[in-house]
C-alpha cells in the first residue's frame, strides 16, 4: 500500500519516498506522485532517482493487486534495495497536458448531454464516446459551448462521499461502461461548481481556466451506440 500523494495534490512534480517492494513487475514505494493507469487516464512516466544520482527511468505506472498499491515500471531492470530512500520525479509536461485534457472532458460531458459509454486521454488528444444520435452532434457547437464554460474560470473541488451515498445517487454516474470503484467505503468525486459532479479518481487542474480552450478534432461513429468526440487543446 502506498500513500497516494497525487490524490490530494495533483501538482506535485517531485517527492521523497522509500522503496517498499522490488520485483520483476516493478517497484513499490511508501508514497508516490505517479498516477497509475485508470479511468481512461494513462499511467505517469518519469524517474526514480537514487541517493547517488542514478536515474531509474519509469516508463509506465500501473495499479498493483492490493488496494492503493502502485507499480512503477522501470524501462530497464533496476537494482534498487528495500528501504532505499529515493526522489521521485514525474514527466510534468506530459502529466499537465493530461490534467488539462482530462478536466476538459468533464466540461465537455456537460455540453453533450448523453450517456457516456467510454473515454480515453492521451497527452495530445482525448475522447469521449456517447450513446447519442449522430445528427445531434455538432462539432462547432460542442467546441464553442465547451470553451464558453472553460472561460468561466471556476475552481475544481474534490469531494468524498460514502458508498451508501453514491448508491442513493445513481444519477451521479454518467459513465455506463466505467462504474466507480466501490467497496473502499468512500468514493472520490470531482465537482466543477454549477457544471459537473461525478465520481473520478483521476488528476485535474485546480481551475478550469488552465485548460485554455479546446478544439474538436473529429466526430465519428464507432458502432451502433457509440459516437466518438475527439478533442485537443487549442494552445
Dist CA 140 CA 120 (whole Å):
21
User: CB neighbours of 124 closer than 8 A, spacing ≥ 6?
Assistant: 97, 232
User: CB neighbours of 36 closer than 8 A, spacing ≥ 6?
Assistant: 43, 44, 61, 62, 63, 70, 71
Task: Name the segment binding Zn ion (CB under 5 A); options: 120-128, 175-183, 186-194, 206-214.
Answer: 186-194
In the complex, least distance from residue 40 CB atom to Zn ion, rounded to whole angstroms: 8
Contact between 202 and Zn ion per CB under 5 A: yes
Compare residues 20 and 207 and give the one whose CB is closer to Zn ion: 207
> Do 119 and 131 meet the contact criterion of CB atoms below 8 Å apart?
no
Nearest residue by C-beta to Zn ion?
200
Size of the site for Zn ion (CB under 5 A): 3
> Do 102 and 37 meet the contact criterion of CB atoms below 8 Å apart?
no
Compare residues 132 and 190 and give the one whose CB is closer to Zn ion: 190
In the complex, least distance from residue 200 CB atom to Zn ion, rounded to whole angstroms: 3
In the complex, least distance from residue 39 CB atom to Zn ion, rounded to whole angstroms: 7
Task: Name the segment binding Zn ion (CB under 5 A); options: 7-15, 86-94, 141-149, 183-191.
Answer: 183-191
Contact between 126 and Zn ion per CB under 5 A: no
Please pick, from the candidates 86, 101, 126, 200, the single residue that binds Zn ion as defined by CB under 5 A: 200
Q: Which three cell numbers stand for residue 51?
A: 541517493
Contact between 154 and Zn ion per CB under 5 A: no
Three-state DSSP class for residue 66? coil
Compare residues 42 and 202 and give the one whose CB is closer to Zn ion: 202
Of residues 62-101, those binding Zn ion (CB under 5 A): none
58 vs 16, 61, 145, CA distance in Å?
Answer: 15, 8, 38
User: CB neighbours of 80 closer than 8 A, spacing ≥ 6?
Assistant: 19, 22, 27, 48, 50, 56, 86
Query: In the complex, which residues of this chain contact Zn ion (CB under 5 A)?
Result: 190, 200, 202
Amino acid at each position: 500500500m502506498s500513500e497516494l500523494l497525487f490524490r490530494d495534490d495533483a501538482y506535485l512534480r517531485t517527492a521523497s519516498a522509500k522503496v517498499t517492494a522490488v520485483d520483476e513487475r516493478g517497484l513499490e514505494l511508501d508514497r508516490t506522485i505517479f498516477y497509475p493507469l485508470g479511468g481512461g487516464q494513462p499511467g505517469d512516466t518519469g524517474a526514480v532517482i537514487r541517493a547517488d544520482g542514478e536515474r531509474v527511468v519509469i516508463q509506465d505506472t500501473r495499479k498493483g493487486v492490493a488496494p492503493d498499491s502502485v507499480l512503477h515500471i522501470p524501462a530497464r531492470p533496476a537494482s534498487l534495495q528495500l528501504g532505499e530512500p529515493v526522489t521521485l520525479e514525474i514527466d510534468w509536461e506530459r502529466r499537465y497536458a493530461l490534467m488539462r485534457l482530462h478536466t476538459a472532458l468533464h466540461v465537455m460531458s456537460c455540453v453533450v448531454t448523453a450517456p457516456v459509454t467510454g473515454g480515453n486521454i492521451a497527452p495530445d488528444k482525448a475522447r469521449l464516446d456517447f450513446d447519442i444520435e449522430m445528427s445531434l452532434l455538432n462539432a462547432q457547437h460542442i467546441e464553442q459551448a465547451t470553451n464558453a464554460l472553460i472561460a468561466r474560470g471556476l475552481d475544481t473541488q474534490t469531494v468524498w462521499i460514502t458508498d451508501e451515498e453514491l448508491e442513493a445517487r445513481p444519477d451521479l454516474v454518467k459513465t455506463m461502461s466505467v462504474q466507480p470503484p466501490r467497496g473502499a467505503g468512500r468514493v472520490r468525486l470531482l465537482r466543477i461548481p454549477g457544471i459537473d459532479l461525478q465520481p473520478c479518481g483521476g488528476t485535474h487542474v485546480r481551475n478550469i481556466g488552465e485548460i485554455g480552450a479546446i478544439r474538436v478534432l473529429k466526430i465519428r461513429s464507432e458502432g451502433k451506440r457509440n459516437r466518438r468526440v475527439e478533442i485537443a487543446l487549442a494552445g
